[in-house]
Structure 1
């Protein structure tokens, strides 16, 4: 199952490392490990679907939701209610190779609904990571204060010092 941590892990799988964009899911073995950790099959078709879903969700988090692409990921998927002694649960029906990608999209929508405006890109334009702001004031700007936050604050300080 995809939770908030797994969603952020997926969104943040394309960081900038040493000033170069990197795709940690480009390696099938690495993505297969991630898929297995989250209950997926890890076959080639499932990996392709996961990459597509991740790319669509990154775009949706940065700007307007690409509705047509999301519809393609979710096409033919159904959620069916099941009731037993434990209560009501929803069972997802999707082809096995699409199941984890669909769960990723559903986790993204769940975060958007439960925490509106809190999932966003890092405020550092040179960073490609995302953050889920859990602060009370909803004012977090950077994926990491230690890296991006300090870097940008130091840069602004240097610019002010040069101007004086």
Structure 2
């Protein structure tokens, strides 16, 4: 499941902000490389399905409920097939090749929401479009990266406090 959580974050983070605009990284070159890295083919249809799922999950993380239909449309063609072993039941994904990665991302999102509700978050920096999985004990992580967004936001808050105290 950890691999699918990594896939979930990798896909969610394929639309970062660059100079104030969203930059698409699920394109032919970068998207295909990401797909192949996670066992996909990198086909145009596979990338389209990944973009659909990414956009829908991002909307859901932000509390925009209309995205459920997009995820349902992807998952309508997917099923889970049980295989019984001496260790227990293993559930295998059964989907058309171009939907496998999108289904894995959707399944990982669902599992994360079930096991760690509220822990899949958008970065608190409004100028960022990245996501994080908050694994901290108190669940208070705010930024995709402390080194970039965290430091920026803390520096801005400090500067604002300094300006406010100078004006008083």
TM over 0.5, shorter chain: yes
**1:85-164 superposed matches below 5 A:** 85-163=86-164, 164=166
1:43 equivalenced with 2:20 (yes/no) = no
Aligned length: 163
Structure 2-normalised TM-score?
Answer: 0.89
**How far has the Cα of 1:43 moved from its partner?**
1.8
The SS at the match of 1:3 is helix
| RMSD of Structure 2 on Structure 1 (CA) | 1.6
| CA offset digits 1:36-72 (Å, max 9, x no partner) | 1111122221121111111111111121342211111
Tell me the equivalent position of 2:32: 32
Runs of 5+ unmatched residues, structure 2: none
**How far has the Cα of 1:137 moved from its partner?**
0.8
**How far has the Cα of 1:113 moved from its partner?**
0.8
Structure 1-normalised TM-score?
Answer: 0.91
The SS at the match of 1:4 is helix
Tell me the equivalent position of 2:5: 4
Q: Distance in 1 between matches of 2:85 and 2:133?
A: 34
Q: Which runs of 4+ in 1 moved over 2 A?
A: 17-21, 84-87
The SS at the match of 1:101 is helix
| CA offset digits 1:4-63 (Å, max 9, x no partner) | 12211111111113443211112x121111111111122221121111111111111121
The SS at the match of 1:81 is strand
Runs of 5+ unmatched residues, structure 1: none
**How far has the Cα of 1:86 moved from its partner?**
4.3
